[in-house]
Amino acid sequence: MMHTLRLFSPAKINLFLHITAQRLDGYHDLQSVFRALDFGDWLAFRLYDDMDSAGLGGGDTENGIPPISLTGASHLTKNLDDNLIIKAAHALAKHSPKQVQGVHIHLDKHIPTGAGLGGGSSNCATTLIALNQLWGLNLDTQALIDIAATLGADVPFFIFAHAHQCDAVATGIGEILTPIHLPKRAYLLLMPDAHLATAHFFKHPDLNKKSLFINDLSSYATWFDLTLTPPFHNCFETIASQDSPAVKDALAYLHALPCHATPRMTGTGSCVFLPLEAEMIDQAAAWRDAAPCRAVICHSLNGL
């Protein structure tokens, strides 16, 4: 039986982000294309051999869940039980309690929080994938996606991308996913030190909530892959630039670079990125080093 597992937990970007309607339940319908990246976090899992390790904490004795401990994440939440990694482990344990074992999880964090890169959601999904293997639950992809959807709107994408090894068109509140096959792409990713207030942005009077729903996105890939041709856009980008000088400066830096690609923001920010043409990848190292904030060159995990 497997006792340890180490998995990559990728970041994601939105190639565009449209809100197509506001729903009666207060949520918003969106349309976007998600890409998983080779930049991300790592999660290490180790099953406890001694099931009497009650002093480890992180379990739920009332519901019969053995100890689940987490290191490397104390700076992310005041209470570790609020971390999506722990929530994922508990959700899976409650779904299949008879096969659960105590587990220690260590997070090696590289994705900044509040950046629109889906770091917490990715960690959550990676935990579901790992514990499904370590606990021998044998849940299929759809079962994991159903559990993931109860934990966060972006979590199902990372299950989907891992299972299908492709990017996804996201609709609904982000939980309806269909495959899309795009060219492999490198990106210059800038991560300003800014944590933006997503809830505030959704209430902003200038937010466009009536973007047209676009059918057959695969036929429009050249409109949002390298360049961003109207009507494709990120509906939060202008608002975020007004709210955060750091985001505005990072976008201005990318716009000033000598290339034909369109810089843009991912999610509700604060991370911004520039798709790289093949002939620009060597030059991109100098652009990364001169950037006004933390920057990395990364690649899509999937692509043609």
All CATH 3.30.70.890 domain ranges in the chain, comma separated: 186-299
pLDDT at 26: 77
All CATH 3.30.230.10 domain ranges in the chain, comma separated: 4-180
Low-confidence ranges of the chain (pLDDT < 50): 51-58, 61
pLDDT at 56: 44
pTM: 0.93
pLDDT at 63: 57
pLDDT at 75: 81
Question: What topology is assigned to 186-299 in CATH?
Answer: Alpha-Beta Plaits (3.30.70)
pLDDT at 61: 46
pLDDT at 53: 46
Give CA–CA dist 39/102, Å, rounded.
Answer: 29
pLDDT at 158: 98
3-state helix/strand/coil string of the chain: CCCEEEEEEEEEEEEEEEEEEECCCCCEEEEEEEEEEEEEEEEEEEECCCCCCHHHCCCEHHHCECCEEEECCCCCCCCHHHCHHHHHHHHHHHHCHHHCCCEEEEEECCCCCCCCCCHHHHHHHHHHHHHHHHCCCCCCHHHHHHHHHCCCCCHHHHHHHHHHCCEEEEECCCCEEEEECCCCCEEEEEECCCCCCHHHHHCCCCCCCCCCCCCCHHHHHHHHCCCCCCCCCECCHHHHHHHCHHHHHHHHHHHCCCCCCCCEECCCCCCEEEEECHHHHHHHHHHHHCCCCEEEEEEECCCC
pLDDT at 273: 98
Instruction: Select from 2.60.120.10, 3.90.1150.10, 3.30.230.10, 3.40.50.300 the CATH code of 4-180.
Output: 3.30.230.10
Catalytic residues, which ones? 12, 154
